[in-house]
Structure 1
Amino acid sequence: MRYDFDKQIIRTNTGSVKWDHSEAIFGDKDILPMWVADMDFRAPQPVIDALKDKAEHGIFGYTKGMGSYHEAIIGWMQKRHNWSIQGEWICHSPGVVPALNVIVQTFTEPGDKIVIQHPVYHPFTKVIEMNGRTVVSNPLKEEDGRYVMDYHDLEEKIDDQVKLMILCSPHNPVGRVWTREELVQLGDICLKHNILMVSDEVHADLILEGEHLTFASISEDFAQNSIICTAPSKTFNLAGLQTSNIIIPNEHKRGKFQKALEANFMGSMNTFGVAATESAYRYGEEWLDQLLEYIKGNYDFLKSYLEEHVPGIDVFPLEGTYLAWIDCRKLGLDYTALEELIHKQARVAFNQGYIFGSGGEGFIRMNIACPRSILEEGLQRIERVMNSL
C-alpha cells in the first residue's frame, strides 16, 4: 500500500509534548513546533492493527516479550543491517536514555571519565554529570562542509580514568553516518585503552545516504567490547510506547546490565510496546522505505528553499536521521539573539545548537519529519523575518 505522508494530522489536545507543550516551553501558543524528535506521521498500518488487537483483548497485565518478539528483532537486524544476533543478547529498557543511565551506573564509578563527541544529543551530558561522572569532550571537526572524528584529540585526552565512550551512530544532531574506516579507527583506540564502547544506534534505520554499520558487527573483538542501544521509537514513531532493545553480545557484561535493570525494577515491558515492536519489525519495512523517500524529498526541498530564499542560512548534508543541522553563523548572532529571531519573530520552534555542547553555537536543529506543507510554512516564516532584517 502507499502511505500518505502529505496528510496533516491534528496532534493538539492529544498530550503531545511537541504540539501541546510548546507554548509552555517557548511562550507562544501559535509557534510552529519543529523541535523534539518525533514525527508527524501515523505509524505503519500493521502496527496500528496490532495495537487495536491488543486493546480488544482487554487485559494489560505484566508483560515480557515471547520468542516471536526476539525472532522479529533478530530478523530485522539481519535483513536491514546484515548483523546476526542471538536472542539471549537482547535486553530490554523503557528507552535508550534510561538504558544509558543504567550503563553508566553499572560500568563506571563516580569520578570516572566518559567520552562523548560534541555537538551531540544533549542527554548524554546529563546522564554522565548527574551520575557524578566526568565528561571528556572529543569534539567533531568540520572538514570541507562535513563533520569528521578527531582521533588525535581523543588519544591526547585518554587517561586511566576514561572507562567508557558513548557513540552517537548515526550522529544526532550533525547527521553523519559513520563509515567502516571511521568506526574501525575509533574502535581500535577503545580496545587499545580498554574503553567500553556504548553505541546509541536509535536512528540506525533512518539512512538517507551511505550505509549504517552496527559497531558490534565489525569484528568479534568489537562485539565483546560494546553495548548496542536500539529501539523502534525513531524508526516507526513509537517513542510514547517506551520500548527499547539493548543488545549485548558479551555474556559477563550482559549479566551485569540485567542485574542492574532488576535492581532498578525495570524488568517489565510495556504491553503495547511489545505488540508494536514485533509488528513493526515484521511488517513495517514497506512503510519505512516510503518514509525514507519522503524525508529525502523534504531535505532536498529544505536545501533548495534556503539556497533560493534565505541565503544567509546553510544546511549541512543529512546522511542519517530526520534532523537537519542548520548553520546560522553567517548571521553573526549570539544564541539569545538567534532565539529572538527564530522563536519570537518567526514563531518556529527549533532546538538551539548550543544545547548540544561545544561546536553547536550558531546552529539550529530542525525536525523535517513532517508533511511538506508544514515544512514549507516554517521556512516561509523564517524567510519573512530574514527579509525584514
Structure 2
Amino acid sequence: MKYDFDTVVPRRGTNSYKWDSMPAVDILPMWVADMDFRTAPAVTEAIRKRAEHGIFGYTRVPDSYYEAVVNWFARRHGWKIRPEWMIYTTGVVPALSAIIRALASPGDKVLVQTPVYNCFFSSIRNNGCVVEENPLKYENGKYTLDAEDLERKAADPAVKLLLLCNPHNPAGRVWTRPELEKIAEICRRNGVLVVADEIHCELAYPGHPYTPFASLSEEALSHSVTCISPSKAFNLAGIQIANIVAADEEIRQKIDKAININEVCDVNSFTVDALEAAYNNGEEWLEELKLYLYRNYETVRDVLGERLPQLRVLPLEGTYLVWMDCSALGLPEAEIVRLLEEEGRVMVNGGEMYGETQGCFIRLNIACPRKLLLEGLDRICRTLEGRVCGT
C-alpha cells in the first residue's frame, strides 16, 4: 500500500473524546465512531498551510468549496448536485436538528428505522417531536426493511418525516436501490419527507454500491433532504463540517432559517481547505483506506469465528462499525458491556442505545491499526470465552 494505516498514532493526551474519556489508561476504546488513522496527506498539508498563515478570522465559503462537493458526487456517485441546493453547517447532527425544527412542529412524529444512530432520538426529542419506530426485520443474521410496518406507520397523519440512515449505522447495511425506491414510494404516497443521513456514504464496500436517495428520481429529489460530510471517510469529525442538500426552494429556505436560529451557520478557519483537499485530492487515499477497513472486518469475522463462534458477526456492507449478536451468550447486554470494560479492558457500545434490536448486540469500531484490532479482539475473546449461557 502507498499509504500507512499500520502505524499506531498515540491519541491519549490530545483531548480525544474517544481515548481521553476512558476511566483508566489501560482500557482500549473501540466505541466512538472516529478512526485511529491520520487523515489523507493532502488534507494534512492543506490544514498545515492554513495554520502557517497564522490568522484565523471569520471564514467565507468560496465557489471552489461548492465545486469540490459537486464534482465529487458527480464523479463518484452519478449524483449531480447544484451549488444553490447546498447549505453548509457544523455537522450532520446540528443539520438533523435544524431540519426537524424547520419541517416539523412540536408533537409531530418522526420515523426512525431501529436499531439506528442514537443521536436521531435526541435530535427528535430536543425539538419537541415524538419518535416513531419502524423496526428493521432481523432474520438469518441480517437486517432488512419492514415495508409493511413502514406503510402502517407512514399512514399516520402525525408522521411528518423519516430519518433514513444510508448506509445504516449500526446494522452495516448499504441499502439497495430497490429498497430505497420502496421507501421513496411509501413516503411520497403518505406525504412523509425523507431526511437522509448519508455521512457514511464513502464507506461502502465492493458488491454493495451506495445510492444517494435523492438520485433515485426527480420525485425523490424534491421530497427529500440529504446530509453529507467528509468527516467519517476522512476522519475529520473535529473539523466540524457538513452540507445539507435540499433541491426544493421552499424547504431549503425553511432549513436555512432554522440553521440561523440554531446559530450553526458559520464554519471554522480550516473547514474549507480541509473539505476541498479531501474531495479534490483524497480519492486514492480513501480507496486504500476502504481496502484496509474491509480486511479489518475479515479479521474480526475470522478471529471471532474461530474463538467465539457463539457470537454472530453480521455482514458488513458499509461503515467501519461491526454489529455483533451476542444473544447466544445468555447474558444481559449491560453485563456483557460491563465485563468487557472491567475484565477485558476494552470499551464497546451496547446495542440498547440504538433502539429496538431484536436481540443482544454490541457495536465494535474497527477503524484502527490491525495491531490494536487484534489486541482488542484478544481481550474480547479472553473475557467471553466459556461464558455461553452464563457458565
Query: Shorter-chain TM-score: what band?
Result: over 0.9
2-structure distance, mates of 1:341, 1:266: 40
Runs of 5+ consecutive residues of structure 1 not aligned to the other structure: none
Structure-2 change in CA distance of 1:264 and 1:387 (3 Å): closer
Deviation at 1:361, TM superposition (A): 4.7
Counting only pairs closer than 5 Å after superposition, residues 1-389 of structure 1 correspond to structure 2 as 2-23=2-23, 28-158=24-154, 159-209=156-206, 210-359=208-357, 361-387=359-385, 389=387
1-structure distance, mates of 2:283, 2:99: 30
2-structure distance, mates of 1:387, 1:366: 17
Deviation at 1:144, TM superposition (A): 2.8
Opposite residue 16 of structure 2, the aligned amino acid is: S
Deviation at 1:385, TM superposition (A): 1.7
Contact 1:335 1:361 in 2 (8 A): no
Contact 1:200 1:230 in 2 (8 A): yes
Contact 1:353 1:360 in 2 (8 A): no
Deviating more after overlay: 112-121 vs 251-260: 251-260
Deviating more after overlay: 50-59 vs 169-178: 50-59
CA-to-aligned-CA distance 1:163-207 (integer Å, 9 cap, x gap): 011000000000000011000010001100111100000000001
Contact 1:91 1:258 in 2 (8 A): yes
- TM-score (norm: length of structure 1): 0.97
Deviation at 1:360, TM superposition (A): 6.0
SS in 2 for 1:135: strand
SS in 2 for 1:271: coil
1-structure distance, mates of 2:158, 2:3: 50
SS in 2 for 1:228: strand
Runs of 5+ consecutive residues of structure 2 not aligned to the other structure: none
Opposite residue 157 of structure 2, the aligned amino acid is: D
Opposite residue 58 of structure 1, the aligned amino acid is: G
SS in 2 for 1:37: coil
Contact 1:110 1:131 in 2 (8 A): yes
Opposite residue 306 of structure 1, the aligned amino acid is: L
Opposite residue 161 of structure 2, the aligned amino acid is: L
2-structure distance, mates of 1:235, 1:166: 21
CA-to-aligned-CA distance 1:351-382 (integer Å, 9 cap, x gap): 10111011165111000000001010011111
CA-to-aligned-CA distance 1:49-70 (integer Å, 9 cap, x gap): 1001101111111112201111
Deviation at 1:314, TM superposition (A): 1.7
SS in 1 for 2:4: coil
1-structure distance, mates of 2:191, 2:153: 14
Task: Say what the alpha-carbon RMSD is for the aligned residues.
Answer: 1.1
SS in 2 for 1:211: coil
Deviation at 1:128, TM superposition (A): 0.9
2-structure distance, mates of 1:255, 1:357: 32
Contact 2:35 2:367 in 1 (8 A): yes
2-structure distance, mates of 1:270, 1:294: 31
CA-to-aligned-CA distance 1:93-145 (integer Å, 9 cap, x gap): 10000111111111001110000000000110111112211111000002332
Q: Percent identity?
A: 48
Opposite residue 2 of structure 1, the aligned amino acid is: K
Opposite residue 382 of structure 1, the aligned amino acid is: I
Deviation at 1:311, TM superposition (A): 1.5
Deviation at 1:388, TM superposition (A): 5.3
Contact 1:354 1:361 in 2 (8 A): no
Deviating more after overlay: 250-259 vs 233-242: 250-259
Opposite residue 187 of structure 1, the aligned amino acid is: A
Deviation at 1:340, TM superposition (A): 2.5
CA-to-aligned-CA distance 1:43-95 (integer Å, 9 cap, x gap): 11110010011011111111122011110000111111110111111101100
2-structure distance, mates of 1:5, 1:17: 21
SS in 2 for 1:22: coil
